[in-house]
Amino acid sequence: MNAAKRAEIFRRLREDNPNPETELAYSTPFELLIAVILSAQATDVGVNKATAKLYPVANTPEAIYALGVEGLSEYIKTIGLYNSKAKNVIEACRILVEKHGSQVPDNREDLEALPGVGRKTANVVLNTAFRQPAMAVDTHIFRVANRTNIAPGKNVLEVERQLLKFVPKEYLLDAHHWLILHGRYVCKARKPQCGSCRIEDLCEYKHKTSDD
Binding residue ranges for [4Fe-4S] cluster: 187, 194, 197, 203
Q: Which residues are annotated as a binding site?
A: 187, 194, 197, 203
How far apart (Å, rounded) are the C-alpha atoms in residues 133 and 142?
17
Angle formed by the axes of helices 139-148 and 172-185, nearest 10°? 90
For residues 190 and 200, the answer to whether their CB atoms sit within 8 Å is: no
44 a catalytic residue: no
Q: By the 8 A CB rule, do 144 and 184 touch? A: no
> Active-site residue among 110, 138, 165, 201?
138
Please state, in angstroms and as integers, the Cα–Cα distance from residue 61 to each residue in 21, 76, 146, 151, following that order. Answer: 24, 16, 38, 37
Rounded CA separation 94/11 (Å): 43
Torsion sign across C-alpha atoms 19, 21, 23, 28: negative
How many other CB atoms are there within 10 angstroms of residue 61's CB atom?
25
Q: Is 120 a catalytic residue?
A: yes
List 44, 49, 99, 120, catalytic entry: 120
Q: How far is 44 from 76, CA to CA, in rounded Å?
A: 13
- Which residues does the annotation mark as catalytic? 120, 138
